[in-house]
Structure 1
Amino acid sequence: DDTKGVMKLSLDDNGILGNRFVGQENTIQSGTQKRFAYEIFFGPKSTQILNDVGHDLGKGIDFGMFDIIAKPLLWFMNFVYSHIPNYGIAIIVLTILTKILLWPLGSKSYKSMSEMKKLQPLMAEIREKYKDDKKMMNQEIMSLYRTYKINPMGGCLPMILQIPVFFALYRMLYQAIELRHAPFFLWINDLSAPDRLFHFSFSIPFMQPPYGIPVLTVIMGATMLLQQKMSPPPGDPTQAKMMMLMPIVFTVIFINFSSGLVLYWLINNILSIAQQTYIQKKYA
């Protein structure tokens, strides 16, 4: 169709935004005339607005390989917002719904972790007894698993199955134009911007401007630390040290993410801690 084209935006070195229109290739015969008419849409990439405009513009919203999961999540978030006009609350409700849907997988994973945690004293004895013989140590540990009928990888598969949903949520919240300038409560007045309490004139390492106290992100890091302490430590000391650093690493990374995304991760951590506590008490 020679009446369709693509708008391409570019940012030059001076920070000036350029815009160019690329249409389909056409051949005009010598001595003839041809007229082209186009309708150009300038506006936010909102699903509702684009669908109202028509011309299949709604297809312009693309969440990549997680599109099939992300779009229903976006629809549900907007549905909640239509009844409770606060996108922060909509994110919380969406996170709770996701956790409910994934509850069976999470429970299976936490049950496996709980069983592994019970074996930690016995595994510590084996590691101490065979610390100079790695082969025998591994054989004894595998024998221990067989005796108690525990699959050491039993907690991994349920977690792996949840990864596509987590990435779809991340991609959706990262791209959603609906969160732009959307307030939540107190100091969070823009869910698309990083979480900052107060604004400082000086720079902070690893933090992109504006500079301030990332309260929500720090709380999120604390929940990650608590969740880690509830899980059995890896058998390898090197891996155990690396896992101890994960909450710090994630906190540093998330200080520059949108507060909407941090809010999702925080609520998900809190719900995961509650679920893990319930499972551990149930199978204690």
Structure 2
Amino acid sequence: MESTPTPPLISSYVALGDSFTEGMSDRLPDGTYRGWADLLAARLGARADGFRYANLAVRGKLIQQIAEAQVPVAAEMKPDLVTLVGGGNDTLRPRCDMARVRALLEESVETLAPACGQLVLMCNPARNGPVQDRYRDRMEALFALVEELAGRHGSVLVDLYTGDPLGDQRFWADDRLHLTEEGHRRVAEAVWQCLGNAAESDWRSPLPPSARQGWTARRRTDLRFTREHLAPWVVRRLTGRSSGDGRPPKRPELAPWPGEDTP
């Protein structure tokens, strides 16, 4: 019986993207965000002495901002592993030039693939509900491109969309845009497995059934969501601002992990 080959040792990792990779809304006690990329770094670091990690992702960033500000920096670092997740924020804009998104994503992959040991691309999870339904065509066009690029450049594809394993609303925070702690844990497990590592849990397993909220409770939840999350989001769109404006990456340097700034 043939043994399963051991995946190559990864001693450096750079994560690129937006709020999904920054770690919102996996909030730590000190108010900072952890997220799936940090969880993955912790696993990789446990296997490699001198492991180094950078996370250049910043909430709210569009694919052009990722391509211009993050991709060249990551390519210069020449790490063993890069994860690139981008374009999702573009699909949620009222006007989205999918041809431009495609060109920028292609350009980013063509820059990163030869500059790192392994490039990981991802099809984001999507929360079940009207937002997904409204933007489904754009999202699926983006994910079809991601799959095509992964095949063309020999990149690892992590498909968190097909089969909807993370569509359950209980995996999503109150803002309905970002994953909970458990959601991020499952993403980290999915990437871990796609890199050839032995499964530590079943990231696709459904949550147990739960009692459906009554009408009054659902309306109260909807009103709170509108007041605390949707209205500020709409105001930012109308004024051309982003939640990431002026915000630096949480780990801009390829530095030892864990380090002094590690929560």
TM tier, smaller: under 0.3
Task: Compare the two structures and name the one with the higher helix fraction.
Answer: 1
The TM-score, its normalising length taken from structure 1, stands at: 0.21
The TM-score, its normalising length taken from structure 2, stands at: 0.22
Instruction: Find the structure with the greater CA-based Rg.
Output: 1
